[in-house]
Structure 1
Amino acid sequence: MVKSHASRGKLLTANLPQLQNLIKRDPKGYHEEFLTQYNHYTSLLRLHTLAPSTSTPNGSDKSAEKFAELVTFISQVAQCYPEETKELPSQLKGLLLGTNGPPVKGDMRRTVLKNLVMLRNKDVIDSIELLQTLLPLLPHVPSSLRSFIRHTILTDLKTSNAKTKNHRLNRVVQGLLFGMVESGMQAEVVGDKGKGKGKEKGGEAMWAVMMVSELWKKGVWTDAKTVSIVALAVFHPNTKVQSAALHFFLGSDNDTGAESSDEEDEVREARKDVKKMQHSLEVGKTRKKKEKLLKKVQKEATKKRKHRDAGLGAKANFPALELLHDPQTFGEKLYDNLHKHDKQYSLDHKLLIIQLLSRVMGTHKLCILGFYSFIVKYLTYHQLSVTLILVALAQSVHDLTPPDVLTPVIRKLAQEFVHPGVGSEVVAAGINAIREVCRRQPWCMEEDLLSDLIEYRKSKDKGVITASRGLLQLYREVNPSMLKRRERGKAAAMGEVNQAPAYGHTDVPQGIEGIELLEEHLAAKQKEVNPDQSASDVELDLDEEDETGWEKWEVESDSGSESSGWQDVASDGDDLEISDSEDEGPKVKRAKLALVEEEEGEEGGEEEEEDGKSVVSVAPSSMTVASENTKKLSSLAQQKILTPADFALLNELRLKAAQSLVNTTSSTGAKRKLAALEASKRHVGEDEASRFLTENEILGPRKRVKDDYEARIESIKKGREGREKFGSKKGKKDKESSSTNREKIRNKPIMMAVHSNKVVQKKKASLRDKQIKLRASIVKRKKQKR
């Protein structure tokens, strides 16, 4: 019996997968065998702590291989012996992070990491303990293992927040990411140009920004704390971290090295290909084929680098801009950073900062006056990326921007871009930029300058004409008093256009535009249900549509509560009466009005006795004002909360009304209103960032540029798609029919064709006959050219 036990022990010691299978089936029966292997594991762990092994990837060190096998075995059966293996997660964490000794590397690190993830999948450890280990590893592992860690972190967070928000886990991970960003905030700013390029350190912050961007794109984190992590990274001394954070707010998909290491490797491989080709040209014979191939490889490498570094034309991340905490302080710090390190940052990096600053100013209506004096020096037509600078200038302006600050900027634009010494495209871009600035702040324009710019509508270039007419039309609508009488247009001459409000004045909208159309539509619909009622007796049944109008428009709550609908709250026997001003009945409203008038009875009314009751008579002046304000509001808006479906129906009704007005009157104002409504309908459902400008709006309409060689070849190949065979089909018929005589002659053997009658007669023809045929051929070609 003893001999059988010994033989069984030897067999199970040599075959750990078999022992693992037996332990999962009967943990109690194989407890002693497990303890034997666990003691062996602890002794190897202690040995690694005192004298770490130098295991190689090919597995030459047997002790390291045995240690890896034991780590896998103990992790597989850890749930069977929770008391004995309670220290296993902390031991694996120490092996990865090096808390109790030097960290493991190579294949051993990959083995320990996979086993730690397996413990999380078996619920031996929670997500917090796993992510606290994985996040610090990101900057210190190779790219192959880094992709595995990234995928594990993203999957775990997405799964944990799938049904409800795991606020505890999110707070812990966000705190870790904050710490990763703050780790290098005290370093000195080196900049991304000059000799100091490449000496910065910010790997942890880079990966923190990358993880936040991924979680934001997947919709796992969409709160203000997530945005605050990236907002802190905007001021990191490492320019690569800054660029990644700036791209997050600008909405670019290319996060400048932070998106993934794969993109960086792709650019690096492209550079290696270029160097390889250059070396082959130097050592070997120079041939045209090699030179063409080198140019092609260089072009591809440049394209990949620009694709990685640019990312300037993407749409802005508008929700992230809205969630910024204290945007005024954020904008001021961003401008101070730009102004302080102007000479250290490259133009591309400064463009990113300028774009973000302008979008924050336009979104939150900030007044950072130093920005306009800073950007003036870049407003020259020969400046690189000047269209992006013009876009940033225009979208930084809003109705609260002081006109006195913008007037010098407008003058600078006119002096640099709008004069006869530059091309027509430059003039068009300058006028378009001035128009976009004036659209947001009309009072920054001077009358003399406006009259000069409007004269360019007589130019011969289409783009300049369109830009000048756009500026003229803008001031016909917003402030026609600045134009001459003959240039104000028909609407302003007839008094249909009011003068622009003064600076700082905002009009409070009264009611909802077109609400009467919705009210008439619902009344007509109710009339169809009850045709016997007269128009005056029709009452809108508003309670039935309150629930149906919100279908497919509900938004998932971030509160993490699984409850839906209303919940009853106990009142402990006391009757609670909670009323809202919009839901109050007429009796409550009359009672409140009586209380107010009793307090102001000496000024606005007098109290009378009528049938033993106290009656308050309201002063005629106040009654008139109240009635006028009541008439401005629709009864539908007073009685019903409009749903998103109601607003969608309202937009359709407004569009139909505008179309019918155009069909009946065909006036210019009606056509413009119809065009505006159609444009707003097209933009419904698109990204909210469409409110920002693009380079095409500044450049305006341009002539079609002639395609280069590659574009022409691509067009030719695209036109050949779907064709059976290239070449002429002259003399050919369908496949079903027999071949023609022309095809037979073409396929005739050469020796037979040489001795044919047609060829022999050509050889025997006289000089006169040849001249006649040549003359006839020339005349025929001339006729074909006509």
Structure 2
Amino acid sequence: MQASSNSGRGALLSANLPQLQSLIKRDPASYKEEFLQQWNHYQSILNIFLVNPDDQSQHFRDVVTFITQMAPCYPKETAKFPAQISNLLVEKFNELSPDVRKCLVSNLIILRKKNVLDSVDLLQTLFPLLPRITSISLRSFIRKTILSEIRVANQKRTDHRLNRAVQTMLFRMVEQGVETKDQIAMQGKRTASADRDRSHDDALWAIVMTRDLWKRGVWKDSKTVSIVSLGCFHSSAKVQSAAIHFFLDSEDDDDSDNEEEEEEIPNMKALEHRRTINKKTRSGDKKLRKTAKMVKKKRKEASKGKENQNFSALQLLNDPQTFAEKLFDNLSRNDKAFTLDHKIVIMQLLCRAMGIHTLCVLGYYSYVMKFLTYRQLRITTILASLAQSVHDLTPPDVLSPVVHKLAQEFIHPGVGSEVIAAGLNTIREVCKRQPWAMDEDLLGDLVEYRKSKDKGVTTAARSLLQLFRQTIPTMLKRRERGKEASMNIQNDNQPVAFGAQKLGTTKIEGLDLLEAHLKETGEDGGDESDDWNGWEVDSESSDSSSEEGWIDVPSDSEGDLVFSDSEDEEGDKKEVKEPAPEEADGYGIAAEKILTPADFALMKDLQSRTEGQQSGTGTKRKFTATNTTQAGQSEKAIDEGDILGPRKKAKATYEERMDSIKQGREGRAKFGSMKGKKAKESASSSTNREKARNKPIMMVMASGAVRSKKKASLREKQRRLKNHNDNQKKRKS
């Protein structure tokens, strides 16, 4: 009887897997035999399923789900289970039904959550599945799983092991497509076509996942950039475009995770306002302080993440010069094969890399000249890219033909004012970065356009004139230089030639404030030895100075310092002249005394006082904004608005005006306002004017309005009649 009862219980539990699952979780040791029975059953079904995947698919899914839930209870018996599921997905993916695919993927993820499967093994299984999945829902599910797995692993501290394994796998996925160029030449087209298509899909998804991890701030290192930079030279134009757009950051993708994080941050103003209305309790105050602390922390993390995202990926390139040369080689070699849009995207990336890293790819300027015509499609984007590629180390001899080409094609009476303005603005942007690319004759002709009647042309020509007044005023005619430029020329302040660096004295900040403070207080600095009291001095320097003492240097009556050399004759003397006043400019009091630590502390205090006084006037903000603009000007991307310049609004056509009128009439009643009308959606009372119409005549006769009409003069009646006639004419018209 006991054996029959056990067999009956086993048969009942084997038919009801959810009940057996619940019992095993409570007491795994007591129900080990029942589990082993289901495990053997799973092994037999797996062999049948490998031969015929369509047979018993529902039962196979139920058994796999059961084994997945019981795997943590029996780790030794189910040690090979995760590998079997992974191999089945990778090897038999195309033969499996959509339901089985989803079931196996879900069970793998559950095994990872139960720490039965390692994160690296999970990602190595899911990544190759992305290009092969046709179901949108399953692909989105796998994509979110991969991103969340890597993000959680790097949340507290950077998981170098996981990142290294995933980045190596992504690099190989992209590298396969780059190698297919040589493989296609060696193999036949039929044998290589399937591998080529698969490699293209793998590389595309590798770029997409790398871009998502970069945008979410999970990966921000040079290895991530190297993966995408390799995709810029892929054999597929689609993969190239995805990799190039990663650097240009021109794709508008929905970042759902960031939006959810922003929505989670509560509104502190609303909470504080609610706190003033509701009942005052200690617990409420405590919750408000806790919420404020949490909001401050989240905003700090969000701002830190935005700063990391704003860091350009182009700055992390390993070898920018080689990268730019390969880009240009790919562009020039496939000039006829690529579409215009793809060539423009490559030029944008190439020019931005040249501008940020101050690179010189001289062949690009001769290549781009064939696009410099005002009839060219997307010419404004090409012009903006051209200006972005120029920097102070670009040779003027290479840029001079480009500037002349722009002037010939865009700036002449045979084109419209918008074309002339675009040409002038492009030349201004090029000359702003390398002014020596301009010659005097061409500059004189271009500056004459400041007398044009078009606002955009006038603004562009004046900006070009102002640029050369500040950089190289000698190229301008005397009447066009202006007062400041003429004074600089008279003072021999010549511009620095190409390739030279301007050497000058370094000004000590706050020295002028210290000098003014000493003059106001009437102090001459006092005894310098007293200023060193209380400050730490290097022991070696103090010992040497105490032993040797100060060395008196004789000087003649004219103020020239005379030094004698013991090895030379007594009559030989070396004269060292004092610096001229203009050479010592910027030092002031520093040329007369040695600044002590007390002086530097006083200068710092005076600077802080001055900044505090000027904070109300906005001087500090303007100075900081100016310095920031000058420092980041080379990294700022030039857009089409900089090329087109300010333009007046074009007059709308009749069709455009009618469309605007119709759009304004949408949702509005036919005869204007609905005030006081009964046809409104929400009922309301009548107006005072309607009420006055329905009043009894005896009540109206005694009103002030009726009596004033009776007593009105002839002049008032004429004015009222005239106003009535004017209103009638307006209604008829």
Q: TM-score, normalised by structure 2?
A: 0.71
Match of 2:500 in 1: 505
**For 1:689 and 1:743, how far apart are their aligned partners in 2?**
73
2:263 match: none
Equivalent position to 2:237, from 236, 239, 245: 239
Report what 2:644 is aligned to: 699
Change in CA separation of 1:742 and 1:679 when aligned onto 2, cut-off 3 Å:
farther
* Contact kept? 2:507, 2:586, Cα under 8 Å: no
Question: What is the CA distance between 1:624 and its match in structure 2?
Answer: 7.8
Q: Tell me if 1:251 matches 2:249.
A: yes
For residues 594-627 of structure 1, give each alpha carbon's deviation from its aligned partner in whole angstroms, at most 9, with x where no partner exists. 99xxxxxxx998799xxxxxxxxxx9859989x9
In the alignment, structure 1 residue 429 sits paired with structure 2 residue 427: no
How do 1:483-562 residues align onto structure 2 when only pairs under 5 Å count? 483-495=476-488, 498-507=493-502, 511=506, 515-516=510-511
Rate the CA distance shift 1:638–1:540 in 2: closer, same or farther, 3 A. Answer: closer
Change in 2 beyond 3 A, CA 1:406/1:14: same
Contact 2:232 2:244 in 1 (8 A): yes
Change (3 A) 1:132 1:719: same
User: Following TM superposition, by how much is the alpha carbon of 1:659 offset from its aligned partner in structure 2, in angstroms?
Assistant: 7.2
Which residue is equivalent to 2:13? 12
* Pairwise CA distance, 1:498: 3.0
Q: What do the CA deviations read for 1:47-72 (whole angstroms, capped 9, x no partner)?
A: 223x1322xxxxxx5x2111111111
Give 2:428's aligned amino acid: R
What's the secondary structure of 2:384's corresponding residue? Answer: helix
Contact 1:517 1:650 in 2 (8 A): no
Match in the other structure for 2:35: 34
Q: Distance in 2 between matches of 1:140 and 1:640?
A: 72
Match of 2:350 in 1: 357
2:155 to 162, 176, 183: 162
- Distance, in Å, in 2 between the alignment partners of 1:465 and 1:18 is 85
Partner Cα separation in structure 1 for residue 587 and residue 474 of structure 2: 32
Instruction: Tell me, yes or no, if the aligned pair for 2:351 and 2:389 is still in contact at 8 Å.
Output: yes
- 1:380-779 map, 5 Å: 380-495=373-488, 498-507=493-502, 511=506, 515-516=510-511, 585=538, 587-588=540-541, 621=576, 631=587, 677=623, 679-680=625-626, 691-706=636-651, 727-728=672-673, 738-740=687-689
Instruction: Name the amino acid aligned to 2:221.
Output: D
Residue 122 of structure 1, CA deviation = 1.0
* Matched letter for residue 641 of structure 2: N
For residues 460 and 123 of structure 2, the distance between their equivalents in structure 1, rounded to whole angstroms, comes to 56
Residues 485-519 of structure 1: CA deviation (Å, up to 9, x unaligned): 11110101222783321101233675578555898
Residue identity opposite 1:115 in structure 2? N
Letter in 2 for 1:399: D
Contact 2:391 2:434 in 1 (8 A): yes
1:53 — aligned with what? 53
Alignment correspondent of 1:187: 180
User: Which residue does the alignment assign to 1:226?
Assistant: 224
Aligned pair count reads: 602
* Distance across 2 between alignment mates of 1:479 and 1:658: 33
Tell me how far apart the structure 2 counterparts of residues 687 and 24 of structure 1 sit (CA, whole Å): 62
Verify the 8 A CA contact 1:138 1:146 in the aligned structure 2: yes
Q: Any idea what the Cα deviations from partners look like across 1:416-454, whole Å, max 9, x if unmatched?
A: 000000001110110010011001001010100000000
Task: Structure 1 unaligned segments of length 5 or more: list them.
Answer: 55-60, 191-196, 261-315, 544-582, 596-602, 609-618, 661-673, 746-772
The one-letter amino acid of 1:700's match is: G
Indicate conservation of the 8 Å contact 1:519/1:636, yes or no.
no
Q: Give the 3 Å change call, closer, same or farther, for CA 624–741 of structure 1 in structure 2.
A: closer
- Show the counterpart of 1:119: 111
Q: CA deviation at 1:404?
A: 0.4
Q: Give, in whole Å, the separation in 1 of the partners of 2:662 and 2:30.
A: 76
Aligned partners of 1:86 and 1:40: how far apart in 2? 16
Change (3 A) 1:465 1:632: same
How far residue 585 of structure 1 moved from its aligned partner, in angstroms, is 3.0
RMSD: 5.0
Q: Could you tell me how far apart the structure 2 residues matched to 1:378 and 1:594 are? A: 75
Partner of 1:214: 212
Q: Is the 1:134–1:149 contact (alpha carbons within 8 Å) kept by the matching residues of 2? A: yes
In structure 2, relative to structure 1, the CA distance for the partners of 1:104 and 1:164 (3 Å cut) is: same
CA distance in 1, matches of 2:9, 2:328: 75
Percent identity between the two aligned chains: 47
> What is the distance in 2 between the residues matched to 1:412 and 1:259?
43
Shift in CA distance, 184/739, structure 1 to aligned 2, threshold 3 Å: same
> Per-residue displacement from partner, 1:617-662 (whole Å, max 9, x unpaired)?
xx9859989x9699499999999999xx99x9799679769978xx
Give the AA of the match of 1:5. Answer: N
Q: Deviation of residue 714 (structure 1)?
A: 6.7
Rate the CA distance shift 1:380–1:649 in 2: closer, same or farther, 3 A.
farther
Shift of 1:152: 0.5
Post-superposition offset of 1:694: 1.2
CA distance in structure 2 between the aligned counterparts of 1:604 and 1:716, rounded to whole angstroms: 92
Q: 2:272 is matched with which residue?
A: none
Change over 3 Å in CA distance of 1:490–1:329 after alignment to 2: same
Corresponding residue of 1:130: 122
2: distance between equivalents of 1:641 and 1:363?
37
What are the Cα deviations for residues 302-321 of structure 1, in whole angstroms up to 9, with x where unaligned? xxxxxxxxxxxxxx975201
Q: In the aligned structure 1, how far is the partner of 2:229 from the partner of 2:217?
A: 18
Q: Deviations over 1:524-579 (max 9, x none)?
A: 9xx9xxx9x999899999x9xxxxxxxxxxxxxxxxxxxxxxxxxxxxxxxxxxxx
Please tell me whether residue 88 in structure 1 is matched to residue 86 in structure 2: no
Aligned to 2:551: none
SS at match of 1:185: helix
Gaps in structure 2 of 5+ consecutive residues = 185-192, 257-308, 549-561, 568-573, 678-682, 695-720
Q: 1:479 is matched by which residue type in structure 2?
A: I
TM-score of the superposition, structure 1-length normalised?
A: 0.66
- 1:699 is displaced (CA, Å) by 0.6
Change (3 A) 1:520 1:93: farther
Partner of 1:561: none
Q: Amino acid of the residue matched to residue 638 of structure 2?
A: L
Aligned twin of 1:301: none
In structure 2, give the amino acid aligned to 1:211. Answer: M
Q: Note the C-alpha offset of 1:200.
A: 5.7
Change (3 A) 1:536 1:137: farther
Amino acid at match of 1:30: Y
Tell me how far 1:371 sits from its aligned partner.
0.3
1:188 deviates by 4.5
How far apart, in 2, do the equivalents of 1:355 and 1:169 lie?
34
Contact 1:655 1:677 in 2 (8 A): no
Helix, strand or coil for the counterpart of 1:704?
A: coil
Contact 1:478 1:498 in 2 (8 A): no
The CA distance in 2 between the partners of 1:169 and 1:7, in whole Å, is: 49
AA at the equivalent of 2:321: Q
Partner of 2:70: 77
Aligned to 2:178, the other structure's residue is in SS state coil
